[in-house]
Amino acid sequence: MQSTLEILDLLQQLPPAPGLRFPFDQYQRHRDVQIVMAQLAAEQPQLQILDVGGVHLTRHFLPEHAIVVTNLRQDEATQVQSSGAALPFADQSFDVVMAVDTLEHIPPEKRPAFVRELTRVAAKYVLVTGPFASPLNAEAEQILDTYILRTSGVRHYYLAEHLTFGLPDVHQLTSQLAESGYTVTASPSGHTGRWLTMMLLRFALAATPAGQEASEWIEQLYNHQFYWADHTEPSYRQIVVAERQPALRAGAGARAADFFAAARQIYGAPPLDPLLNLWQTVAVAHGLQERTEELAALRAQNDHLASQVAALQSGRFMRTMAYLHKLRQKLLPNP
């Protein structure tokens, strides 16, 4: 375990994050990767990295490394279109092969083949991060899915895929990596309770006036205050680092895990209550807004009905007067 002074020294040497403006969950997973890569690259400044299922943010956080992104579908971030279960690369052709929040989007029966390809193409390290199965995580995702559906009327595509496929088992992953000749270290990231609170707050704010701007500032605040504190159990994500034997720098994965744990102790954990109170306030405000809109709609409907009644009454009065006029003409002699 590294000493406090060593950790503080390492914190000063960390590559800077490209700002705090990203959604907290995206920031966390890419900042995790950036910090792990700083450990893996200690004796090799530029790594050859294959990012399987990657996105454009990878290059924002790892500008100093040579990165190839491969995806099943072609998009602006993708250089090579391929299946992660059949990578078109030679054995051990990249220093690091990584999959960031990708494994959970693969059907369970295809996950072993996917992981085999990661281990085959990697020369030194495999890095897998993402949400993993636990009873608490299953409940958290179900709560979020229900909330989004009830408040928006639609399901979130990626979250629905989590629930359909089920989150991967971290023990199955680490066992498969170990059986492939790797030394494996797993460390927590993204406290489940805070992850759920922030996700609920994000979707609650989205339904309010100026909610988007408010959400962006809250996400930045969270990235600044809670990033280090979130490397603790119970966690939504795990950072799994696998080192091929013999690795360039044996034990780098374990040092990265120790680094996250020590940094969490140094920075501590800010209280979550303000975020919970904020979410409750936003939820109440959203409810009041909905009731206000419903009341306004009822008033408009009432006004419309009142105008129709008035029109009917006016028409009935005119018809009655016309009838009386005709009756008068019949009963009274002409002058």
DSSP string, 122-162: EEEEEEEEEE---HHHHHHHHHHHHHHHHHHSS--HHHHHH
Question: Which tops the pLDDT comparison, 177 or 300?
Answer: 177
Distance CA 24, CA 226 (A): 9
Q: Tokens for 173?
A: 């992953």
Per-state percent for the chain, helix, strand, coil, to nearest 5? 55, 15, 30
Question: Which tops the pLDDT comparison, 42 or 170?
Answer: 170
Give the pLDDT confidence of 295-324 residue by residue, as tens digits.
888 888 888 887 777 766 667 666 776 676
CATH number for region 4-270: 3.40.50.150
Give the pLDDT confidence of 18-40 residue by residue, as tens digits.
999 999 999 999 999 999 999 89
Distance CA 33, CA 140 (A): 24
Question: Which tops the pLDDT comparison, 213 or 8?
Answer: 213
What pLDDT is recorded for position 250?
58
Q: Are 237 and 29 in contact (CB under 8 A)?
A: yes
Helix (H, G, I), strand (E, B) or coil at 260: helix
Q: Phi, psi at residue 205, to the nearest 5°?
A: -65, -30
Cα angle: 19, vertex 53, 51; to 5 degrees: 70
13 pLDDT more than 90? no
Q: Are 118 and 52 in contact (CB under 8 A)?
A: yes
Residue 76 gets which letter from DSSP? T
Helix (H, G, I), strand (E, B) or coil at 327: helix
Give the residue from 327, 328, 221, 226 showing the smallest Cα distance to 272.
Answer: 226
The average pLDDT across 97-110 equals: 97
Q: Per residue, what are the HEC states of 172-216?
A: HHHHHHHHCCEEEEEEEEEEHHHHHHHHHHHHHHHCCCCHHHHHH
Distance CA 252, CA 248 (A): 9
202 pLDDT more than 80? yes
Query: Rounded mean pLDDT of the chain?
Result: 87
The average pLDDT across 99-125 equals: 97
248 pLDDT more than 90? no
Asked, as a colleague might, if the bond just before 246 is cis with ω within 30 of 0, I would say yes
Residue spans of the domains in the chain: they are: 4-270, 273-335
The average pLDDT across 254-266 equals: 84
The average pLDDT across 70-92 equals: 93
Lowest mean pLDDT among 44-48, 171-175, 322-326, 330-334: 330-334
Give the residue from 77, 83, 37, 70 showing the smallest Cα distance to 55.
Answer: 77
Count other C-beta atoms under 10 Å from residue 25's C-beta: 19
Edge-to-edge order in the sheet of strand 94-100: 80-81, 66-71, 48-52, 94-100, 122-131, 235-244, 182-191
The average pLDDT across 73-93 equals: 93
What pLDDT is recorded for position 159?
97
Q: Are 228 and 264 in contact (CB under 8 A)?
A: yes
50 pLDDT more than 80? yes
Lowest mean pLDDT among 68-82, 238-252, 319-333: 319-333
What pLDDT is recorded for position 326?
75
Q: Tokens for 148?
A: 């989004």
Model confidence band, residue 228 (pLDDT cutoffs 50, 70, 90): very high
Residue 256 gets which letter from DSSP? H
Count other C-beta atoms under 10 Å from residue 202's C-beta: 20
